[in-house]
Homo-oligomer: A and B are copies of this chain.
Amino acid sequence: MAVTIKDVAKRANVAPSTVSRVIANSSRISEKTKERVRKAMEELGYHPNFNARSLANKSTKTLGIVMPNSAKIAFQNPFFPEVIRGISMKAYQEGYGLYLSTGQTEEEILEEVKHMVYGGRVDGILLLYSRVNDQVMPFLIEQKFPFVLIGRPHNIDEEQVTFVNNDNFKAAKTVTEYLMLLGHERIGFIGGNLDFVVTIDHMKGYEKALSNANIPVRQEYIVHHEELLEGGQDAVIELMSLGERPTALIVADDIMTFGVLKMLADMNVQVPKDMSIVSFNNVMISELSSPTMTTVDIHIYELGFEATNCLINKIKLPELGEQQVIVPHKLVKRESCK
């Protein structure tokens, strides 16, 4: 038979309501009584029902994680497991559990977020992506529900939102400048899905660096692909079919770069001799490509850790204003540029 609050109360020689207050850690109970009740709970093996406690405390000690739609694309990218690793570490340290969204479409995800919020299922939400015209963020703002965005908001005042981001504009500008310093002028850009704010920031940084150097931006050198495995390969076919081929490529994502390297090898284009490549993210397998790739380390783990830290602060101190954190990036030079 399950141990009840009454059993604990009897053992500790207090009223059942006192046991309830000890579970809720009420300041109305003396430390001495708390100790006695907790000892009785331990001896009897009593565990308060989590849902009852959540109801009483209005706290679930759980954080919701909302992934972009299409779990297939999301989970294909090692960015997500690594960011969740950073989230897990901080959540564990602070005694929070994680609740994962499983919706596959934008509508399903919005429905799930509504369930999390209305149903009191989580104390706060981490949005792992920033999409153009996203529905989830306006909903959370309207509900005044604690959330933190990884990325930056689009079409929403930045001061209204707590977010943790890289300076993706600057990162893309820097890698473009780096390639120009190596002597490249014909620099191709293989970007990700234009629905994501990070893609827009990358492209603006690339264009800014070129125009600063008085190099015209050539539209035929800019290719966007969403698909991580085939996208890089398809982009290479497009760019290598041009009359005047680029001599260097900026690729939005390390996994795409694997595809780019593979397709270039198939075409007998040597990297870095005939083509230089810079990539973004520095996921863990980036050091295993042939040649190893030069890439921007965006410190994915820290993005997750820092975002969770901000969210827990927001939950604990609702009066705290919104915070904007920029996690620094770092160009990791390996073998793919010349």
- Which residues of A, 65-86, contact B by the 8 Å Cβ criterion? 65, 71-72, 75-76, 78, 80-82, 84-85
- Beyond A75-B81, A91-B102, A102-B92, is A229–B284 a contact (Cβ under 8 Å)? yes
**Do residues B118 and A89 form an inter-chain contact, with CB atoms below 8 A?**
no
**Do residues B89 and A104 form an inter-chain contact, with CB atoms below 8 A?**
yes
Partner of A290, one of B54, B119, B265: B265
- Provide the residues of chain B in CB contact with A60, threshold 8 Å: 51
- Provide the residues of chain B in CB contact with A97, threshold 8 Å: 99-100, 102, 112, 121
Partner of A120, one of B51, B119, B120, B284: B51
In the assembled complex, A103 has its CB within 8 A of some CB on chain B: yes
Point out which of A49, A72, A97, A259 has the most chain B C-beta atoms below 10 A from its C-beta.
Answer: A97
Number of interface residues of A (CB under 8 A): 55
In the assembled complex, A52 has its CB within 8 A of some CB on chain B: yes
**Do residues B99 and A62 form an inter-chain contact, with CB atoms below 8 A?**
yes
- Provide the residues of chain B in CB contact with A96, threshold 8 Å: 102
In the assembled complex, A140 has its CB within 8 A of some CB on chain B: no
* A163 CA to B57 CA, complexed, in Å: 37
Min C-beta distance of A279 to chain B, whole Å: 13
**Do residues A75 and B71 form an inter-chain contact, with CB atoms below 8 A?**
no
Min C-beta distance of A195 to chain B, whole Å: 21
In the assembled complex, A184 has its CB within 8 A of some CB on chain B: no
- Beyond A97-B100, A98-B100, A102-B89, is A120–B81 a contact (Cβ under 8 Å)? no
- Provide the residues of chain B in CB contact with A258, threshold 8 Å: 285, 288
- Provide the residues of chain B in CB contact with A72, threshold 8 Å: 85
In the assembled complex, A47 has its CB within 8 A of some CB on chain B: yes
**Do residues A290 and B288 form an inter-chain contact, with CB atoms below 8 A?**
no
- Beyond A71-B85, A89-B71, A261-B290, is A102–B98 a contact (Cβ under 8 Å)? yes
Min C-beta distance of A105 to chain B, whole Å: 10
Nearest neighbor of A261 in chain B, beta-carbon distance = B290
In the assembled complex, A328 has its CB within 8 A of some CB on chain B: no
**Do residues A121 and B71 form an inter-chain contact, with CB atoms below 8 A?**
no
In the assembled complex, A287 has its CB within 8 A of some CB on chain B: yes
Min C-beta distance of A222 to chain B, whole Å: 23
Partner of A81, one of B50, B81, B119: B81
**Do residues B92 and A229 form an inter-chain contact, with CB atoms below 8 A?**
no
In the assembled complex, A226 has its CB within 8 A of some CB on chain B: no
- Which residues of A, 94-144, contact B by the 8 Å Cβ criterion? 96-100, 102-104, 108, 112, 114-115, 118-121
Interface string of A279-293 (1 = CB under 8 A from B): 000001101101010
Residues on A lying within 8 angstroms of B by beta carbon are 47-55, 60, 62, 65, 71-72, 75-76, 78, 80-82, 84-85, 88-89, 91-92, 96-100, 102-104, 108, 112, 114-115, 118-121, 229, 255, 258-259, 261-262, 265, 284-285, 287-288, 290, 292
| A-B contacts besides A75-B81, A97-B121, 20 pairs, CB < 8 Å | A48-B119, A50-B119, A50-B120, A51-B51, A51-B54, A51-B120, A51-B121, A52-B55, A53-B119, A71-B85, A75-B82, A75-B84, A80-B81, A91-B102, A97-B102, A255-B288, A258-B285, A261-B288, A261-B290, A285-B285
